[in-house]
Structure 1
């Protein structure tokens, strides 16, 4: 009896595999860290083969810890981070390291395109703004600075497609990944020849993969992949989608009344639309597997900033927490909870991976009387305020969505205190979906649909997504957050003016852009 599905999700920090029954209940999960490579200033890369080994090990582990026989797996599918880039030869071997979407090597190229007018013309072709980690922008950089790469390459591919290629040998893509790559006309759902021409990368057009439905079965697990993962050879593999869409589906986002927020490596804030032709161009945009389009505002200003703080500053505290069976996140929530009613004027600017107009990351307003919990609370709040700035932009314009509820996913959603901060600061109820690995659950829904367990994807989403907890905005905190958010935004602009105009920063930017 084939009554289970597996979803793989390769994100910015972890590659996860999760096993689900057909009701969407998570039966087992395994995680492997993704090692970030920094071969040059501003470069963030990943060894594709190592990522595949991590994914295969995670799949094998979920089978082992769950005790589920491989014969019960109806299908498997994959999600991955959007944008960035992977390039393979005719045999599916990577011809260079993969590039992660936090990469900033192409910042000067984007600035050059802005000055020349190419940026605005190109953005109109792909219905979204251009940013450093866009696949199209990275192709422009590679074409200029690694000109020999074109001749070695058979296909451009994206994170989830590389992993699925290792499962099946199929390196096609779907509209969601192609959209967030910044390489298609989102409305037509096909590669944008005018964009390739404007970006000076027309020779790469022949290297682009075919585009097909996210829920389509594209092949079976090969003998080699079966040996690596423990799956049965021939197990159906469904194409999958980008993690932004996967998390939204797993959160039960089906219409414009819902605002999807993912607080993970990136601040991801998304709404659904019937047309991609919006008066305010979003940060990224793509076709949504359920139909229509998903528009997103975001930046690398979310929970990855807390991860840095925990790793670099609280490593000793983490070790002590592990001794009594608690995680470092339990410790953080406890410390924040102790001081949640104390006066706290500390501002945290979550710009460790780049801020608006070169605004620096940091803490402002510290005093000797402050405790660690006060600092952690400021970090939680600063990340929420960065999300709110993105949300305010997303909801601007006459054709913006008008959501009435937030569906919150990502690391922050696992903290009730942090989820409450989101509700209080943005002023909308927050619903946290049940389950831990929503990216994996989203593509598990695709897997279930692809093999006919549900008559349609919308049926799968309604059956397999569940709300786990609910948080209402607290009127008592409204004035506090309004005042603190105003100081946060004003100070961000002031810091950007001061920091971005300094000669020292300009010299540093030449090495970090």
Structure 2
């Protein structure tokens, strides 16, 4: 029948996952690439480097598994959401891609609020106005780089650029489109009303497909560069959150995913669109045509611990290199020795501003409560706890909206740390399931390719293809009152510091 290939174009790396028709992961390969920060608040990446890295990952996964080109039946795509990639008439990138972490468009966000009624925009798009979104970045381009804007042939989301290089076809899908701020999540298509209100060109926008539709086939040119067979089916795929939800089995209402990657997402499937009156969360299309996703997002989840490791974890990095141990594992081991609550030390993980629930690009990260008794281990654990408190903010909004929460599945880099998993269970106050497969987004993209190519009848059949729960983490009862008190302190700090964040700019 042939293998299925999932490609996930993440923020820091691309991952290629080969999956057997039975649902077993056969092989994984990855390539990393950097984020460019040419100016303060800017965040960009090179689309050509995305493509080169994707080609290398595909070749490696085929080589390591011994898979012939024709041994792959179909492939699907997943990718970082919200980013903007502009191509000219020749299909070449006009400039570096603006990714989700970019904050240059703060003034444009204010202007958009004057052009479109904010409540009306949210009721259509399910998105609060925020920097880094495709539509906002396109609005910025129109104002600040008009020559480039005028020369644009097509505007694509990141993973759609990879699909274009594979197939030569321009398209997006409903899950990724719904993260752009110019998309109607109920109609699952571009919002002409919002596009017109912002004065944007609708001729720049690609066709919208559903995730399990065939978007094209691998071209001869792409086959030479990737090692894939010409004519291999390519599914539309989706944004990394929707594909991650598929890969983690989040398809039925009541199952919640706690995802700690570079950022952090709390995500669940819903049967009808739900909109938060306070506009603190995102409502998006799911990979199923009759389902949607409710998502709270924080900007610096694993990124907060990476910042700590890179700036304060020099000893752990050196020791890890000498002993062949991840510095993150060493930091986790040190953190495990610290009592829950870190002796009154609290960390606000707003190192890149914040989305849920504050929607404030000017928010700052900080430690509050430092004393002479605190050590680096206390600070490392406080980072983990602070990120988890921010994730709980998202979970509390779900509860406020009456969304059922039956179980929580944890995934991402944060789920690899035993101490961080336990912190999540204790802070959320419920048991966590950890899946044995942690390649959720690329795995979900491979499964979607299976639906598109007829291996599976429909998305619902994928319930039976999920990798079973490997670990169940139960909350430790004696830790819960400690974290309830600490969370109350955490919740009080943003309102107290908001004015200071504004003055700091």
Which bracket does the TM-score occupy, shorter chain normalised?
A: over 0.9
Match of 1:283 among 281, 292, 297: 281
Residue 491 (structure 1) aligns with: 493
Provide Cα deviations, 1:221-264, integer angstroms capped at 9, x if missing partner.
22222222222222211111100101111111122211122111
User: What is residue 151 of structure 1 aligned with on the other side?
Assistant: 150
Matches within 5 A, 1:112-123: 112-114=111-113, 118-123=117-122
Q: What pairs with 1:431-510 in structure 2 (closer than 5 Å)?
A: 431-500=433-502, 502=503, 505=504, 509=505
In the alignment, does 2:388 pair up with 1:384?
yes
CA deviations 1:86-117 (Å, max 9, x no partner) are 11123321111111101111111212333566
Q: Against the structure 1 CA distance between its residues 69 and 484, is the aligned structure 2 distance closer, same or farther, given a 3 Å change threshold?
A: same
How does 1:68-467 map onto structure 2 within 5 Å? 68-114=67-113, 118-201=117-200, 204-280=201-277, 281=279, 283-290=281-288, 291-340=290-339, 344-355=343-354, 356=358, 357=360, 358-397=362-401, 400-467=402-469
- What do residues 32-75 of structure 1 show as CA deviations (whole Å, max 9, x unaligned)? 22211122221111100011101111111111222223332111
Distance 1:272 1:494, change over 3 A: same
Bigger shift: 116-125 or 175-184?
A: 116-125
Which secondary structure state, in structure 2, belongs to the residue aligned with residue 180 of structure 1? Answer: coil
**CA shift at 1:380, angstroms?**
0.6
Superposition TM-score, scaled by structure 2 size: 0.94
Normalized against structure 1, the TM-score is what?
Answer: 0.92
Give distance in 2, aligned partners of 1:279 and 1:321.
44
Cα–Cα, structure 1 residues 395 and 89, in superposed 2: closer, same or farther, change >3 Å? farther
Residues 358-394 of structure 1, C-alpha deviations (whole Å, 9 max, x = no match)? 3321222233333332221111101000111122123
Runs of 4 or more above 6 Å deviation: none
1:310/1:24 CA distance change after superposition, 3 Å = farther
- Range 154-163 or range 11-20, more displaced: 11-20
Aligned-CA RMSD value: 1.9
Q: Distance in 2 between matches of 1:384 and 1:17?
A: 29
> After alignment, is 133-142 or 45-54 more displaced?
133-142
**Per-residue CA distance 1:130-162 (angstroms, 9 max, x = gap):** 111111111111111122233311111101111
**Residues 27 and 311 (structure 1), Cα distance of their counterparts in 2 relative to 1, 3 Å cut:** farther
Given that 2:352 and 2:363 are in contact with CA atoms closer than 8 Å, whether structure 1 keeps it comes out as: no
Q: Which is further off, 214-223 or 165-174?
A: 214-223
1:153-177 Cα distance to aligned partner (Å, 9 max, x none) = 1111101111111111122011001
Alpha-carbon distance in structure 2 between the residues aligned to 1:323 and 1:23 = 40
Aligned partner of residue 5 in structure 1, secondary structure: strand
Q: Tell me the number of residue pairs that the alignment of Structure 1 and Structure 2 aligns.
A: 498
SS of the residue corresponding to residue 295 of structure 2 reads strand
User: Unaligned regions of 5+ residues in structure 1, if any?
Assistant: none
Distance in 1 between residues matched to 2:286 and 2:229, nearest whole Å: 31
Once residues 353 and 219 of structure 1 are traced to their aligned partners in structure 2, the CA distance between those partners, rounded to angstroms, is: 37
| Structure 2 unaligned blocks of 5 or more | none
**CA distance 1:89–1:342, change in 2 (3 Å):** closer
- Cα distance in 1 for partners of 2:115, 2:198 equals 12
Instruction: Judge conservation of contact 1:134–1:180 (CA < 8 Å) in 2.
Output: yes
Give the superposition deviation at 1:213: 1.8
In structure 2, the residue corresponding to 1:211 is in which secondary structure?
strand
Retained in 1: the 8 A contact 2:341–2:382?
no
